[in-house]
Amino acid sequence: MSLMHELGTVLLRKLPAENAHKLTIKALGGGLGPKFRASISSNLAINVGGLNLPNPVGLAAGFDKDCEVSTPMLAAGFGFVECGTVTPLPQHGNSKPRLFRLVEDKAVINRMGFNNAGLNKFKNNLEKRKLKNGLVGANLGANKNSKNRVEDYAIGLKSLWGLSDYFTINISSPNTPGLRDLQNENAMEELLGRVSEVRAQLAGGKPSYPIFLKVAPDLGLGEIERIVEQSRSYGINAIIVSNTTLARPSSLKSKYKIEKGGLSGQPLFDLSTEILRQFYAAAKGKIDLIGVGGVSNGLQAYEKIRAGASAVQIYSALVYEGPGLVNAINTDLLLRLKADGFKSIAEAVGKD
């Protein structure tokens, strides 16, 4: 990382969390981000749920809610960028403050509540990047006051079909009351049924864009097997494990640990990796997995891969380490593959 970057990261850490985030988006949009190639080695390339990634490190949803900085984030070396969560209508989200940095814990608590500029704006931004290189996905959500939440996901698919390289059905944000209930068996049946119906209409017999499902790490006994089965039967191409947690590990030191919302970063690593392992055991290789939660270096990315993830995504570590982290993780992954005698990421998936 350059001195400018280290300085930038240190300065940003001193600002209130949400202002720092806005400033980062502005700086990246202005072309101030680092530049690395996404395809540093063909050994890092992998197919995940039908998506051919140049490397397995993606930007997790929530960083670029309105899809304003996908191009500079791809230029920072990400193998794929997930924009959103976007909801059909614009919404402000919860009242501020709603984003907290637990510096001592290398963690973040957020209760943003799907603040975003809505589908029209998101669509315009995706149209601007049409024909550009790199993979950009759309993470879809439902408006807080929607009368028909299932239909909100259908609206998202219809609006962005042909513009987004893949879609994520996000039913795991803890900050929209009742959203996680869509993970329940009957609700998921209705939601995934509608998604597969709309998808078939939109594809019209042609190959469809991949559709992923993003789940919470706070799941009860038996739910993992059931979610895998339902996802498979409705043609979901990969499961993203996981969103933030409502749990508060006893190890937390920061005074912000009492804040309501979803916890991410270091304290989420063990929990989300354990849940990922259980998903891998239930999936039996029949559905791909993307590991998210607390990844902040090459070793942790590799642990997720060996636990069963075909790719990883990161968010919170960027707050603490800056965007130079992406290239550092990919470089480190290459060394680890080589040391273990693997010729590709795919060979290492689920080896633990």
Ligand X SMILES: Cc1cc2nc3c(=O)[nH]c(=O)nc-3n(C[C@H](O)[C@H](O)[C@H](O)COP(=O)(O)O)c2cc1C
Number of helices followed by number of strands (H, E) in the chain: 12, 13
Applying CB under 6 A, does 239 fall inside the site for ligand X?
Answer: no
Applying CB under 6 A, does 87 fall inside the site for ligand X?
Answer: no
Applying CB under 6 A, does 24 fall inside the site for ligand X?
Answer: no
**Residues of span 289-348 touching ligand X by CB under 6 A:** 292-295, 314-317
Closest CA to 265 of 139, 112, 138, 103: 103
User: What Cα–Cα distance (Å) separates residue 135 from each residue in 32, 77, 211, 300, 329?
Assistant: 21, 11, 14, 23, 19
Query: To the nearest whole angstrom, how small is the minimum distance from the Cβ of residue 82 to ligand X?
Result: 7
H runs (alpha helix) in the chain: 3-14, 17-29, 70-75, 118-128, 149-160, 185-203, 223-233, 269-283, 298-307, 316-321, 325-339, 345-348
- Residue from 139, 159, 208, 300 that binds ligand X (CB under 6 A)? 139
Q: Hey, which residues does 290 pair with through a beta bridge?
A: 240, 311
Query: To the nearest whole angstrom, how small is the minimum distance from the Cβ of residue 122 to ligand X?
Result: 12
Applying CB under 6 A, does 25 fall inside the site for ligand X?
Answer: no
Query: To the nearest whole angstrom, how small is the minimum distance from the Cβ of residue 260 to ligand X?
Result: 14
Q: Catalytic: 310?
A: no
Query: To the nearest whole angstrom, how small is the minimum distance from the Cβ of residue 99 to ligand X?
Result: 5
Q: Which pair of tokens denotes residue 7?
A: 């300085």
Of 8-16, 30-38, 45-53, 60-68, which segment contacts ligand X by CB under 6 A?
Answer: 60-68
> Which of residues 170 and 310 has its CB atom nearest to ligand X in the complex?
170
In the shown chain, the binding pattern of residues 262 to 281 toward ligand X, with x for contact by CB under 6 A and - for none, equals --xx--x-------------
Residue 53, classed as helix, strand or coil, is strand
Q: Which pair of tokens denotes residue 118?
A: 């809505």
**Residues of span 147-166 touching ligand X by CB under 6 A:** none
Interatomic CA distance for residues 316 and 97, integer angstroms: 17
Applying CB under 6 A, does 108 fall inside the site for ligand X?
Answer: yes
Applying CB under 6 A, does 59 fall inside the site for ligand X?
Answer: no
Query: To the nearest whole angstrom, how small is the minimum distance from the Cβ of residue 201 to ligand X?
Result: 25
Name residue 303's amino acid: E
Q: Which pair of tokens denotes residue 63?
A: 């960083």
Q: Is the peptide bond before 97 cis (omega within 30 degrees of 0)?
A: yes
Residues in contact with ligand X, counted by CB under 6 A, come to a total of 26
**Residue of minimal Cβ distance to ligand X:** 62
- Residue from 61, 195, 213, 271 that binds ligand X (CB under 6 A)? 61
Identify the active-site residue in 70, 173, 231, 296: 173
Element at 51 (helix H, strand E): strand 51-53
Query: To the nearest whole angstrom, how small is the minimum distance from the Cβ of residue 232 to ligand X?
Result: 21
Interatomic CA distance for residues 186 and 203, integer angstroms: 26
Q: Would you please indicate which residues are annotated as catalytic (active-site) residues? A: 173
Residue ranges that bind ligand X, judged by CB under 6 A: 60-62, 65, 85, 99, 108, 110, 112, 139, 170, 173, 214, 243-244, 264-265, 268, 292-295, 314-317
